[in-house]
Amino acid sequence: MSSPSAPSAFAATHSPGDVLALISSGAAATRADVARITGLARSTASQRVDALITHGFVDETAADAGASTGGRPPRRLQLRTREHAVAGVDLGASHCRVALMDIGAATLATKEDPLSIADGPDSVLRHVERTLHALLKETGRDPGTLRSIGVGVPGPVEFSTGRPVDPPIMPGWHQYPIPEFFASRFGVRALVDNDVNVMALAEQRRAFPDTRYLLYIKVGTGIGCGIVADGRLHRGAQGCAGDIGHIRVGDQEEPCRCGNSGCLEAVAGGAALAARLAALGLEAASGSDVVRLVKSGNRDAVRMVREAGRAVGEVLASLVNFFNPDTVVLGGALAAVHDQLLAGVREAVYRRSHPLATHVLRIEPSRTGEDAAALGAGILAIEHALSPAQVDRQLARAAAS
């Protein structure tokens, strides 16, 4: 898997971890490539490669006969995936989705269950633990092959500690040590992030790999934004960058759960739209019900979703002028009716943004869909497991044992 985490300029030591980054990104396919790109002597480059092969990170196989131009055909280097797995965990308000992946980003197995995040961390995380063990058994993987775990949660997270901070729909989760829970049971590091961040990561890595500046707008019960800047997730100083759901929209006065009024979430979120439709006598309690009504052709629902799109677009226009992304992706529950939502968003963005900022701008529906959060959490785990520092630590531990 091509990984923006691979360094563009290697450290002076050109450690085995640096070399693996070259191989896993596809930049180096032979020992000669490693020596040429790093500037290492061929003997030193081979020592680095040999260490990676010995410890199961790399395979070296004979190249296709047709690839040779005379003499001995070069042997090809590639990431070894069989002995290395990661997990991507998507915890939503009412579901749990776990994906087991190899470090080449191939999905091995997934399982989704209905589960309320409000049940609390002990109940929810023990369910994840059981599910992950079941997936490892189903795929014939030993738990010892697990290298790291990524977790996306529907609330603010201090990324450096992996702990949720005052998450409004996650009672009992404030400052809960999620990484420690998994470390004590699987012996690996767990990286925890806000769900919209891992969705943005999945979308950029899988659907728009050539995009360096991307905004992922999740329009579900609430509204959030994941930011990819120069190919990397931007989380801000404390990890709460992208909380656009509580930006005030025009002169709106709808009360918001945060205690303010006129917030984007209170105007255009799925829960707010469902409440308005219920007030009209329609059966609607969630964003999913709004989607159902739109798909059935209900005029009130169609009108409200388009208006919600305009409200999102009003806020997004300011973000486009400020951040100048080349791609904006709309995901979340309401993105299932993206024709109506996108129409409103595009109308507002192209009317209110600077022409230069929209010159090459794409505004697209999500291409990763319901897999986005679990896939993105898995990619977060892979990029940690394959980071040069982590690989070098593993080799040092193996050498010392």
Q: What average pLDDT does this structure show over 274-284?
A: 96
Pairing of strands 157-158, 146-153: unpaired
pLDDT reported for residue 331: 95
Indicate whether 227 pLDDT > 70: yes
Query: What is the H or E stretch that residue 271 is in?
Result: helix 270-279
Of 216, 240, 264, 241, the closest CA to residue 372 belongs to 216
Task: For tokens 């995901």, name the residue.
Answer: 331
Confidence of residue 72 (pLDDT cuts 50, 70, 90): low
- At CA 47, angle to CA 79 and CA 141, rounded to 5? 30
The mean of the pLDDT values for the chain is: 91
Q: What average pLDDT does this structure show over 156-177?
A: 94
Indicate whether 63 pLDDT > 80: no
CA dist 346 and 352 (Å) reads: 10
Percent of the chain at pLDDT > 70 equals 94
Confidence of residue 14 (pLDDT cuts 50, 70, 90): confident
Contacts of 70 (CB under 8 A, 6+ apart): none
Indicate whether 70 pLDDT > 60: no
pLDDT reported for residue 19: 95
CA dist 60 and 177 (Å) reads: 40
Q: How many CB atoms lie within 10 A of CB 166?
A: 10
Q: What average pLDDT does this structure show over 22-38?
A: 93
CA dist 200 and 149 (Å) reads: 18
Q: Is the pTM of this model over 0.85?
A: yes
Indicate whether 200 pLDDT > 50: yes
Answer whether 315's CB lies under 8 Å from 350's CB.
no
Beta strands in 260-371 (DSSP E): 327-331, 362-365
pLDDT reported for residue 4: 41
3-state class (DSSP) for residue 225: strand
Indicate whether 220 pLDDT > 90: no
* Cα→Cα distances 400→143, 148, 396, Å: 22, 21, 6
Indicate whether 239 pLDDT > 50: yes
pLDDT reported for residue 12: 47
CA dist 162 and 323 (Å) reads: 26
Indicate whether 266 pLDDT > 50: yes
CA dist 67 and 158 (Å) reads: 49
- Considering only CA atoms, give the Rg of the chain: 23
Q: What average pLDDT does this structure show over 105-121?
A: 96
Q: What average pLDDT does this structure show over 143-172?
A: 94
Of 195, 124, 211, 234, the closest CA to residue 374 belongs to 195
Indicate whether 119 pLDDT > 70: yes
Structure confidence by residue, pLDDT tens digits, 127-155 = 999 999 999 999 999 999 999 999 999 99
pLDDT reported for residue 6: 39
- From 59-73, 172-186, 192-206, 319-333, the region with the lowest mean pLDDT: 59-73
pLDDT reported for residue 252: 83
pLDDT reported for residue 258: 83
Which letter does DSSP use for residue 231 in this model? T
Indicate whether 9 pLDDT > 50: no
CA dist 180 and 177 (Å) reads: 5
Q: Lay out the sheet containing 362-365: strands in order across.
A: 232-233, 223-229, 214-219, 327-331, 362-365
Structure confidence by residue, pLDDT tens digits, 292-302 = 999 999 999 99
Helices (H), 115-252: 121-138, 178-186, 195-202
Q: Between these two residues, 11 and 25, which has the higher pLDDT value?
A: 25
- At CA 90, angle to CA 89 and CA 94, rounded to 5? 135
Q: What average pLDDT does this structure show over 198-206?
A: 97
Q: Is 250 exposed, middle or buried (0-12, 13-18, 19+ CB in 10 A)?
A: exposed
CA dist 348 and 317 (Å) reads: 7
pLDDT reported for residue 47: 94
What does 26-83 look like in DSSP terms, one character per residue? TS--SHHHHHHHH---HHHHHHHHHHHHHTTSEEEEEPPGGG-SSSSPPEEEEE--TT
pLDDT reported for residue 251: 83
Q: What average pLDDT does this structure show over 325-338?
A: 92
Highest mean pLDDT among 63-67, 84-88, 390-394: 84-88
Confidence of residue 93 (pLDDT cuts 50, 70, 90): confident
* Cα→Cα distances 87→80, 148, 184, 401, Å: 17, 7, 16, 26
- From 47-51, 61-65, 204-208, 301-305, the region with the lowest mean pLDDT: 61-65
Of 100, 179, 189, the closest CA to residue 147 belongs to 189
Structure confidence by residue, pLDDT tens digits, 248-260 = 998 888 998 888 9
pLDDT reported for residue 179: 98
